[in-house]
């Protein structure tokens, strides 16, 4: 407790999933959390939970893909809080679009606009509030930024861009005392995954989770709270000499070259949670 005492944190995409879990984790460690999300009514539920537990949080409407919305958000934060110590660029969208020659231009533009451009815009307008005292920027990338997925080239491009954008920011701001790192989650049990693959109650969703049991060495999907713990490490002084890094938290998927024996070994498939 108290690792983020007296810190001001901004978390985007904070209505559900990793963002909501991180808001709660940051607040439990003493931070005042400004929760930016396009769905301000949904994020208010997260804020209410934090306040009921004695924490400090506020919901503020934010569309990370819209430059005017980001400017207004940053101006609000400056007016009410003056400085920011932690920025967690977590807002993102994902959707299959087919092979590249079939991929809808509008979908590609949307994913790039929210995931990559949104990370850039929010950083651009919040970083000036961090220059005086330094701090930590955390970007949500993905294991899909390190390797590719079938029919999801837009998401792969956006997340790969975030990973290298993180490195560029780390170099730019290291002498200003601002550390910049990214997290690359694997498949996490979030509303986005439920939307893409189905819920635990749906046949398609059950099949998806069964497949992940054997393709993931740890034998299960990740939990939002586990990603929030990684974000907490990067936000806190415990990572004071860590910058320009990407932490992969995927249950071991990126540790192997190809599934190989895992495809054929019945005991491997059955020896999971």
What is the Cα–Cα distance from 83 to 129, expressed in whole angstroms?
Answer: 5
What is the Cα–Cα distance from 36 to 70, expressed in whole angstroms?
Answer: 10
What is the Cα–Cα distance from 144 to 250, expressed in whole angstroms?
Answer: 10
**Which listed residue (155, 173, 241, 256) is catalytic?**
155
Active site residue 241: no
Strands 178-185 and 135-140: parallel
For the annotated catalytic residues, the residue numbers are 155
């Amino acid at each position: 407790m108290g690792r983020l005492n007296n810190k001001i944190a901004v978390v985007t995409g904070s209505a559900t999933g990793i963002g909501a879990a991180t808001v709660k984790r940051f607040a439990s460690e003493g931070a005042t959390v400004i929760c930016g999300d396009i769905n301000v009514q949904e994020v208010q539920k997260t804020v209410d939970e934090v306040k009921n537990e004695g924490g400090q949080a506020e919901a503020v409407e934010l569309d990370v893909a819209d430059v005017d919305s980001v400017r207004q958000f940053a101006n609000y934060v400056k007016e009410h809080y003056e400085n920011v110590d932690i920025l967690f660029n977590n807002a993102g969208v994902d959707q299959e679009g087919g092979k590249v020659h079939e991929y809808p231009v509008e979908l590609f533009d949307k994913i790039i606009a929210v995931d990559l451009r949104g990370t850039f815009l929010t950083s651009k307008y919040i970083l000036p509030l961090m220059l005086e005292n330094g701090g930590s920027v955390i970007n949500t990338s993905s294991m899909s930024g390190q390797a590719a997925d079938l029919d999801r080239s837009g998401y792969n491009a956006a997340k790969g861009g975030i990973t290298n954008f993180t490195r560029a920011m780390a170099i730019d701001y290291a002498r200003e005392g601002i550390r910049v790192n990214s997290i690359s989650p694997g498949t996490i049990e979030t509303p986005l995954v439920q939307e893409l693959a189905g819920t635990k109650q749906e046949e398609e969703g059950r099949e998806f989770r069964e497949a992940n049991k054997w393709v993931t060495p740890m034998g299960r999907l990740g939990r939002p709270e586990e990603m929030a713990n990684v974000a907490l490490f990067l936000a806190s002084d415990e990572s004071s000499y860590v910058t320009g890094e990407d932490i992969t938290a995927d249950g071991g998927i990126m540790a192997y070259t190809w599934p190989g024996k895992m495809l054929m070994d019945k005991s491997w498939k059955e020896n999971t949670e």
